[in-house]
Amino acid sequence: MLKNFSGKGEQTVLESISYTSDYEFSNGCRAPPWRQIHGEICYVLVKPHDVETLCITCSAEGVFLNGGKTDNEGEINYERKGEIYKDLVTFLKEKSAKFSENMSKQEKRFSDKKEKKEPTNEPPEKEEAAPVQKAITGSGKRTLEKNQINFGKSQMTKRLEPSLRWKATVRFKEYRSLLRDPQEEKHRRRPERSGPPVKPGRAQLVRKSTEKIEEIVSESSSESEEDEEPLDRQEANADLPSEYWQIQKLVKYLKGGNQTATVIALCSMKDFNLAQETCQLAIRDVGGLEVLINLLDTDEVKCKIGSLKILKEISHNPQIRRNIVDLGGLPVMVNTLDSPHKSLKCLAAETIANVAKFRRARQAVRRYGGITKLVALLHCGKSSAELAQSSLYDARDVEVARCGALALWSCSKSYTNKEAIRKAGGIPLLARLLKTSHENMLIPVVGTLQECASEENYRAAIKAERIIENLVKNLNSENEQLQEHCAMAIYQCAEDKETRDLVRLHGGLKRLASLLDNTDNKERLAAVTGAIWKCSISKENVTKFREYKAIETLVGLLTDQPEEVLVNVVGALGECCQDYENRVLVRKCGGIPPLVNLLVGVNQALLVNVTKAVGACAVEPESMMIIDRLDGVRLLWSLLKNPHPEVKASAAWALCPCIQNTKDAGEMVRSFVGGLELVVNLLKSDNKEVLASVCAAITNIAKDQENLAVITDRGVVPLLSKLANTNNDKLRRHLAEAISHCCMWGRNRVAFGEYKAVAPLVHYLKSDDPNVHRATAQALYQLSEDADNCVTIHENGAVKRRKMENLFENCHLCQRKVETHLRCVARSARDGSGSAAGVMPHGLHRWKCSVCTVTRRGSKDASSQ
């Protein structure tokens, strides 16, 4: 405000000026709410040059000296000590001679430079200065104060209009901050200007004072805003809902009453519609939150109960939650959990459950030891659950445990809290609570488990505590929410094979399948289909699902469902279609067209699953015909351009069976303009899965000579060779296959040798994966037709001969292997480099390969070639 023209300098009017409090309420006032009702806006400490520091109250009536600020408590004595002045400037003029003198100087300068000032306005300031100018031009020769007030008024009316609508507080704030911004910009710019005053030349002085007055105007405008505000506020008051005033009154009684009055006020406050935002914000705006939280620190059980009952309700509001955390409400609530009163524990836990909906709050709960205490609440339910059987249980104990679970559910959304719950021994307790039959209890318990099941540790513990059994049992409940959370928990856990088996053993699959029939509750449907998806990773489960006619239902769900459901449905179908019967079933139910239609979507997870499902279907030639007819291959191919590597890989995998099972595959592949180039370029990816899938696709593409020629032209050989140095077995296998197929064209064999792909390939034989061996053997066989490659193979192979022998022990004789090496030996002998020539044939009798049974078809090919 006036701050900027205070300081030690001669030209300044004041030594210092500051607010007593930095906190500004949302209505722009700085006075505490209980003073605001007296029309007071803020308190200012002013130090003029000649008089002592003055503590001034700015209120609706005007400006007056108050009782001063006591140093030790920082409290202001609000009593009026002096006359009321119409504004701060008048007040100061009266109190300080120096101020008045300097002020008149400023004034003079202002009127002098007024003309100049307008053009000197910098463009960015124009907006902010516009009302000033208006006020100035409008007022002509009027005094500075008048200008200020005018300015203040024009801006204030503009500014305070939105505040008439309390319901729109949020919008109002935004609006305010918008208005504030230009001013802040000015504040930031100020330091540059107020450099040490060099001996001012005339022009400089002029400029400086102009700037200064500019600031006086803009700054004191805010000052007069303070003066004007109450007037507007009073008008605004009429528009505030009556609840606001009633709540304000009640908060006053809360503050000033003994426990009897407090309880009455709390009960009365509870009768307001606390679900309504007006009331929630009113409680906050009149300083009720502080009082309510303070009450929790007292010994009065009744006051605490009453306070928590209100906090519980209003904490549904996200803004209030944040305020509660800011005011330090969580530590007291966490402490309240220790209370011997069950109802208090319940309320505290329930309130925490509401408040801990955002990260900082969850963190705070943990930091104050809340997790351990909440877990301890579950103990209550434990004993009561046992008592329940002897029909002696106390409903309140169950309630305590329920509230505890509710709070844990909220807290369990963050990773560290999940860990904390586990460490506090929460899992066995949750498992025990899961055995009760109270639906209210089960929902938060299952909810917590479902949240936590995202962690590996929990999944192991869930298995160990035999929780799955109870989850399956609760799946049979009538409560849709409970079903949803159970299904969700199964979905999370069923990544694990044993869990999938458990779900089947406890008869959960049938229930899951039957839950598919009700499609109204989309969230539950998503959870159920998710559980089915994960469960169907096990073959046995798929068989069961077929028995329960789930496949047909799933196909029916392929249309008109939200994406969350579709992802799971398609995922489940993708798993199911690994079975021949199911592929036929899906085709017969007309599942292929909707699947192919989904290929045009944008959801990444969905695309991954759809491509997988389509790929699974394409294994069936008959289904492939349908896919081809629907142009599915082209759609798959275009997904290779998808930015997500997972989608790319999945699409490339899906293309493999498509190419295999189409009659004129070569012709079809060629018909995709730029398609082959796209595939070859994908070899530049750095994602292993993409590379492996593309290699597999290339293997299939290369079966067609013409296409092989095209991809060779596109530089497939150097790209493949570059990939050869890898440790990834999946990539090795598909890479070796791709290389062996690419050898069939032109001088590719030689080229692979030139690009140094051969030596790394030989080393693949050290891998433990028989599939890698098979593919590598095939590739080496192809490569060995070139003499130079033979030498390389031999050199690398001879060194590792012993190892290789060991590797292939206990296996059937591998034709391919033998041929390769015979060739190698022959050539190297011919080339004169066969140092091991005598050794090899001897060793050959023991060259055995673990995969020759698998390669049988390949061997036939080889012998025919």
* Cα 767 from Cα 93, distance rounded (Å): 93
User: Is residue 245 near another protein by the rule CB under 8 A?
Assistant: no
* Three-state secondary structure of 92-133: HHHHCHHHHHHHHHHHHHHHHHHHHHHHHCCHHHHHHHHHHH
Considering beta carbons, is residue 179 or 264 the nearer one to another protein?
264
Task: Report which secondary-structure segment, H or E, holds 848.
Answer: strand 848-849
Considering beta carbons, is residue 302 or 506 the nearer one to another protein?
302
User: How near is the Cβ of 56 to another protein at its closest, in Å?
Assistant: 19
User: How near is the Cβ of 251 to another protein at its closest, in Å?
Assistant: 13
Q: What distance lies between CA 714 and its chain's CA centroid?
A: 42
Considering beta carbons, is residue 258 or 810 the nearer one to another protein?
258
User: Is residue 252 near another protein by the rule CB under 8 A?
Assistant: yes
Considering beta carbons, is residue 266 or 697 the nearer one to another protein?
266
User: How near is the Cβ of 299 to another protein at its closest, in Å?
Assistant: 8
User: Is residue 258 near another protein by the rule CB under 8 A?
Assistant: yes
Q: State the sign of the Cα–Cα–Cα–Cα dihedral 518, 519, 522, 523.
A: positive
User: Is residue 372 near another protein by the rule CB under 8 A?
Assistant: no
Strand partners, 76: 69
* Cα 175 from Cα 163, distance rounded (Å): 10
Strand partners, 56: 44, 65
| Segment interacting with another protein, rule: CB under 8 A, options 259-267, 316-324, 548-556, 741-749 | 259-267
Task: Report which secondary-structure segment, H or E, holds 631.
Answer: none
User: Is residue 270 near another protein by the rule CB under 8 A?
Assistant: yes
User: How near is the Cβ of 83 to another protein at its closest, in Å?
Assistant: 19
* Cα 712 from Cα 696, distance rounded (Å): 16
User: How near is the Cβ of 301 to another protein at its closest, in Å?
Assistant: 6
Q: Total number of residues binding another protein (CB under 8 A)?
A: 25
User: Is residue 250 near another protein by the rule CB under 8 A?
Assistant: yes
Q: Name the packing angle between helices 480-493 and 456-464 (round to 10°).
A: 110
| DSSP 8-state symbol, 177 | H
* Cα 826 from Cα 818, distance rounded (Å): 12
Binding mask 190-229 for another protein (x = CB under 8 A): ----------------------------------------
Considering beta carbons, is residue 243 or 819 the nearer one to another protein?
243
User: How near is the Cβ of 257 to another protein at its closest, in Å?
Assistant: 5
Coil, strand or helix at 610: helix
Coil, strand or helix at 40: strand
Considering beta carbons, is residue 259 or 687 the nearer one to another protein?
259
Report 332-351 residues binding another protein (CB under 8 A). Answer: 340-341
Considering beta carbons, is residue 250 or 449 the nearer one to another protein?
250
User: How near is the Cβ of 397 to another protein at its closest, in Å?
Assistant: 18
Of residues 69, 114, 173, 249, which one binds another protein by CB under 8 A?
Answer: 249
User: Is residue 264 near another protein by the rule CB under 8 A?
Assistant: yes
Considering beta carbons, is residue 77 or 725 the nearer one to another protein?
77
Task: Report which secondary-structure segment, H or E, holds 65.
Answer: strand 63-69
Report 525-544 residues binding another protein (CB under 8 A). Answer: none
Of residues 124, 200, 256, 841, which one binds another protein by CB under 8 A?
Answer: 256
Task: Report which secondary-structure segment, H or E, holds 487.
Answer: helix 480-493
User: Is residue 294 near another protein by the rule CB under 8 A?
Assistant: no
Instruction: Output the CA–CA distances (angstroms, integers) from residue 854 to 26, 352, 811, 861, 863, in the order listed.
Output: 76, 61, 12, 13, 15
User: Is residue 268 near another protein by the rule CB under 8 A?
Assistant: yes
AA letter at 52:
E
| Segment interacting with another protein, rule: CB under 8 A, options 119-127, 260-268, 745-753, 794-802 | 260-268
User: How near is the Cβ of 582 to another protein at its closest, in Å?
Assistant: 59
Considering beta carbons, is residue 254 or 468 the nearer one to another protein?
254
User: How near is the Cβ of 248 to another protein at its closest, in Å?
Assistant: 12
Contact criterion met (CB below 8 Å) for 745 and 715: no
Considering beta carbons, is residue 265 or 471 the nearer one to another protein?
265
User: Is residue 266 near another protein by the rule CB under 8 A?
Assistant: yes
Instruction: Output the CA–CA distances (angstroms, integers) from residue 728 to 690, 693, 757, 774, in the order listed.
Output: 12, 13, 16, 15
Rounded to 5°, angle at Cα 296 from 292 and 300: 110
User: Is residue 260 near another protein by the rule CB under 8 A?
Assistant: yes
Query: Can you read off the two tokens belonging to residue 188?
Result: 């930031």
User: Is residue 305 near another protein by the rule CB under 8 A?
Assistant: yes
Of residues 97, 170, 261, 600, which one binds another protein by CB under 8 A?
Answer: 261
Considering beta carbons, is residue 48 or 306 the nearer one to another protein?
306
Say which residues have a Cβ less than 8 Å from residue 546's Cβ, sequence separation at least 6.
576, 579, 581, 582, 585
Considering beta carbons, is residue 190 or 341 the nearer one to another protein?
341
Task: Give the count of alpha carbons within 13 A of 460, CB side only.
Answer: 4
Of residues 302, 316, 644, 763, which one binds another protein by CB under 8 A?
Answer: 302
Considering beta carbons, is residue 299 or 517 the nearer one to another protein?
299
User: Is residue 19 near another protein by the rule CB under 8 A?
Assistant: no
Environment class of 860 (CB within 10 Å of its CB; exposed 0-12, middle 13-18, buried 19+) = exposed
Coil, strand or helix at 224: helix
| DSSP 8-state symbol, 579 | S
* Cα 855 from Cα 736, distance rounded (Å): 14
User: Is residue 306 near another protein by the rule CB under 8 A?
Assistant: yes
User: Is residue 299 near another protein by the rule CB under 8 A?
Assistant: yes
User: How near is the Cβ of 274 to another protein at its closest, in Å?
Assistant: 14
User: Is residue 253 near another protein by the rule CB under 8 A?
Assistant: yes
User: Is residue 242 near another protein by the rule CB under 8 A?
Assistant: no
User: Is residue 80 near another protein by the rule CB under 8 A?
Assistant: no
Residue with tokens 């020769």: 141
* Cα 832 from Cα 834, distance rounded (Å): 6
Of residues 301, 584, 678, 813, which one binds another protein by CB under 8 A?
Answer: 301
Of residues 52, 192, 271, 768, which one binds another protein by CB under 8 A?
Answer: 271
Considering beta carbons, is residue 339 or 833 the nearer one to another protein?
339
| Segment interacting with another protein, rule: CB under 8 A, options 128-136, 208-216, 301-309, 855-863 | 301-309
Residue with tokens 């369990």: 412
| DSSP 8-state symbol, 85 | B
- CB < 8 Å & 24+ apart, contacts of 749-752: 749/782, 749/783, 749/785, 749/786, 749/789, 750/786, 750/788, 750/789, 751/717, 751/718, 751/721, 752/717, 752/720, 752/721, 752/783, 752/789
User: How near is the Cβ of 341 to another protein at its closest, in Å?
Assistant: 7
Considering beta carbons, is residue 256 or 841 the nearer one to another protein?
256
* Cα 314 from Cα 714, distance rounded (Å): 66
Of residues 164, 206, 267, 387, which one binds another protein by CB under 8 A?
Answer: 267
Interface ranges with another protein (CB under 8 A): 249-250, 252-253, 256-261, 263-268, 270-271, 299, 301-302, 305-306, 340-341
